[in-house]
Structure 1
Amino acid sequence: MEAKRIIVGVDNSAAGKAALEWAIRHTQDGGVVIAASVCGLTTPNGRSDVFHSARLRTVDDALEGIGAGAGVRVERSVLDGDPGPALVELAGEADGLVLGRHGYSRAGVTILGSVIRHCLEHATCPVVVVPARPAQAA
């Protein structure tokens, strides 16, 4: 069986960390989790700058305190551009895309953000949406 490649959209929120934890916990031995943060800016020639450094710190902060799964490799990535399309493009050949849901609701109805909606509509791989605070087991 070929090792799985899972993309995780990471921002500086509890939802982003929950998504990363979920992906690492559910990736089997030999799999790769790519923790990707989107800069939102496009830099000439893909040059790294202060904005990219800040996004890498976001990924590092999310990884802090998360134990890597046995045999799971975690890679860090910073993408340029609009978050939804950038994550969909990176996930094009992946086995899955994992995103965190912030838990916003209106009148008892969950509101999905624009990045999640874009990924659900356009990704060619399965998309998992993880809540910021998983429901407690009864």
Structure 2
Amino acid sequence: MTGHANSRSIVVGVDGSDASAAALRWAAAQAHALSAEVVAVHAWEATAPHIAPYAPAAERRTPAEEREAAARRLAETLRLAFGQWGDRAVRAELVEGHAVRVLLDRARGALMLAVGRSTHVQGGPPQVGPVGRECLRHASVPVVAVPASEPDGPGSPARSV
């Protein structure tokens, strides 16, 4: 894979969750203070090879449909984080591949990598998802796990990277 970040960038893993939107907002504030750019990265993988051949045809999406859905998720997360006008310090990247590998590759040479983490679950500590955990373990740059905003109310789902 290519596309390493430059030394004046903050890479953010984006998965469509409130936690990743919070990580984007945090990274944008840091980038403005550091005169850096934010690289919002959404990794996606084709699911067709993982669907059983006997699954209904309606369950199968083409790679083009999956890429389009991933692009929508990235755009929606950017809107969730910054509103319809966006943030000029943010560059979005849609990359096909395994999320951990893509994020680690893109973050090589960056100032840092930011991932989201969910809000407290039943009084426990905020949770970092499996992608975030692997990034914390293997990144060659500092990793910041940014907590999501508090959910709107009871039962509001909070996903994490």
Bin the TM-score by the shorter chain. 0.7 to 0.9
The aligned counterpart of 1:51 is 66
Q: How does 1:11-26 map to 2 (within 5 A)?
A: 11-26=15-30
Aligned counterparts of 2:35 and 2:15: Cα–Cα separation in 1: 25
Q: Distance in 2 between matches of 1:24 and 1:124?
A: 21
Give the corresponding residue for 2:139: 123
Using the size of structure 1 for normalisation, the TM-score is: 0.77
> For the pair shown, which has the larger CA radius of gyration, 1 or 2?
2
**In structure 1, what is the Cα distance between the partners aligned to 2:120 and 2:68?**
29
1:67-104 residue CA offsets vs partner (Å, 9 max, x unmatched): 656xx521111122221122111111211111010236
| Matched residue count | 127
Q: Which residue of 2 aligns with 1:101?
A: 117
Q: Which amino acid aligns with 1:26?
A: Q
Instruction: Check 1:5–1:50 CA distance in 2 against 1; reply closer, same or farther (3 A cut).
Output: same
Q: TM-score normalized by structure 2?
A: 0.67
Distance in 2 between the 1:24 and 1:59 partners?
A: 16
Structure (1 or 2) with the greater strand fraction: 1
Q: What does residue 97 of structure 2 align with?
A: 81
The one-letter amino acid of 2:45's match is G
Q: Residues 89 and 60 from structure 1, CA distance in 2 versus in 1: closer, same or farther, beyond 3 angstroms?
A: same
Using the alignment, how far apart are the partners of 2:125 and 2:22 within structure 1? 21
Cα distance between partner residues in 1 of 2:126 and 2:17? 18
Work out whether 1:8 is the aligned partner of 2:12. Answer: yes
% identical aligned pairs: 32
Hey, what's the Cα distance between the residues in 2 that align with 1:106 and 1:115? 22
Q: Which runs of 4+ in 1 moved over 2 A?
A: 103-112
**1:74, 1:111 → 2: CA distance?**
26
Query: Following the alignment from structure 1 to structure 2, what is the Cα–Cα distance between the partners of residues 124 and 57?
Result: 29
Give ranges in structure 1 of 5+ residues lacking alignment: 43-47
Gaps of 5+ in 2: 1-5, 48-62, 151-161
What SS is found at the alignment partner of 1:57?
Answer: helix
